[in-house]
Amino acid sequence: LNFVVQDVVKKESTRKPGAPFTTSTIQQEAARKFGFWVKQTMTIAQKLYEWMDLWNGDREGLITYMRTDSVHLSDKAKSDCKKEIEKNHGKEYYNSRDFKTKSSGAQEAHEAIRPTEISRTPSSLTSVLDAGQLKLYTLIYNRTLASQMKDAKVEVTTFTFAPESAKSQEWITKWEVIKFDWFMKLYIEGTDDEAEDDESDSSVLPNLAKGDAATSKGVIANQLFSRPPARYTEASLVKKLESEG
């Protein structure tokens, strides 16, 4: 089946990093990324908060209080994030930003969930933490740093085709290319959408222009039916409960 390219539209868009973790969002992300139950996440977070035997003989908490609905970071935490980002990724990756807590009645006196010492990297704790603890600490560490990094730049290209034998038809496909990863170098947020397409395709964008011919390698016809809403996962249930107050 032969096609003709009718139009090629390129648009640049941005993706912003998520806010530092609250109790609700860390429960959601740990469920999405690791399959942790809510209780499991909070048990591990409690352990990270209370104390850890560190390599230097000290015992101290590794994260701030894990029951919080605030996305606020202290000035010191933001300053420490700046140092770590500029040291490990370069000055061009840093972008200071403040996040506002959406939930009514949030206790802004509290901070978001973050490492107590931003300089304490996950790699420095591999001999101290077990597998689950290291996963959660790394999640918190990366999310905190990413919140103070630049927006990612993404180019979305939309191709419109028409079969040579039916030029009134429109066949459309979209292709995303990350132009500047910035915060996405460190952290990409999970999703509850089970049907979301895999956008991690690393193949090269085809060099097609309006009027070019394109020959299909094959055509597969799929019939799609509307589906009822997916059953709640623990992550999506936590999200729904929060949205309902």
Just list the catalytic residues: 65
- Report the chain's terminal Cα–Cα distance, integer Å: 54
Asked if residues 153 and 185 have their Cβ atoms less than 8 Å apart, the reply is no
- Looking at residue 214, its amino acid is A
Token reading at 117: 């010492």
Residue 54 has φ and ψ, to the nearest 5°, of -95, 170
From CA 108, how far away is CA 156, in angstroms rounded?
37
Strands (E), the chain: 2-15, 52-53, 59-60, 152-163, 171-180, 213-215
The total number of residues written for the chain in this structure: 245
